[in-house]
């Protein structure tokens, strides 16, 4: 394939993914009778804000069925396998984290500024030597390296490492466990579900 054509196809694919993210259902946060409520329909009589979780699996009010949602078993196969082997990680865990972070959208961007498949913050990407976090291979290598470091820091405890991936290692150390943040708690739970499903699917 000619380089120019390949770039055009990549741009088109990214455009489709970006439009898909833009067209995702909005979640409205508002206060009614002193109670914080969430809805996919804007309230008529209350002021509201758009609730924007920091990652794909961080939405506390997600309607996704994590036990049955479609898995991405082939995307970025070689780089995930090679990088997971290099850092001695389970490829199924890497896929679970990518799924939880971005839903395998390489141009995903959070409200906090994290970007790419594994949602790397600019400072983290710089520390890891990731020149462009929107390049899938670079993003995955950086994210896997970071996750491996967290697993080492927390003695191989996947729940604590994934909690740290979401909320930061300082928060995990502060609370001596998974922080009492609803977003982080559902994130850890959903990564665990996805990890088990990816492991079963890849071994089968």
Alpha helices per DSSP H over 23-135 = 77-86, 91-102, 122-127
Catalytic positions are 101
Nearest to 157 by CA among 93, 107, 67, 66: 93
143 close to 117: Cβ distance less than 8 angstroms: yes
Contacts of 158 (CB under 8 A, 6+ apart): 93, 151, 191, 192, 195
Angle at Cα 26 formed by Cα 198 and Cα 101, nearest 5°?
30
Q: For residues 32 and 17, what is the distance between their CA atoms, to the nearest angstrom?
A: 35
Q: For residues 179 and 36, what is the distance between their CA atoms, to the nearest angstrom?
A: 21
Q: For residues 78 and 22, what is the distance between their CA atoms, to the nearest angstrom?
A: 29
């Amino acid at each position: 394939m000619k380089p120019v054509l390949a770039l055009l196809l990549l741009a088109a694919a990214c455009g489709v993914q970006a439009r898909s993210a833009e067209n995702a259902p909005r979640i409205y946060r508002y206060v009614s009778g002193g109670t914080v409520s969430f809805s996919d329909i804007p309230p008529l009589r209350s002021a509201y804000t758009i609730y924007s979780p920091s990652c794909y699996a961080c939405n506390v009010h997600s309607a996704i069925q994590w036990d049955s949602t479609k898995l991405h078993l082939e995307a970025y196969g070689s780089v995930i396998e090679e990088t997971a082997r290099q850092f001695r990680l389970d490829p199924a865990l890497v896929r679970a984290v990518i799924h939880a972070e971005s839903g395998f959208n390489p141009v995903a961007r959070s409200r906090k500024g994290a970007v790419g498949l594994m949602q790397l913050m600019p400072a983290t990407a710089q520390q890891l030597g990731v020149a462009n976090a929107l390049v899938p291979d670079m993003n995955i290598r950086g994210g896997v390296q970071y996750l491996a470091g967290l697993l080492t820091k927390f003695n191989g405890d996947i729940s604590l490492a994934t909690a740290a991936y979401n909320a930061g290692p300082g928060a995990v150390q502060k609370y001596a466990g998974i922080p009492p943040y609803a977003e982080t708690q559902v994130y850890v739970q959903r990564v665990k579900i996805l990890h088990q499903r990816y492991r079963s699917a890849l071994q089968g």
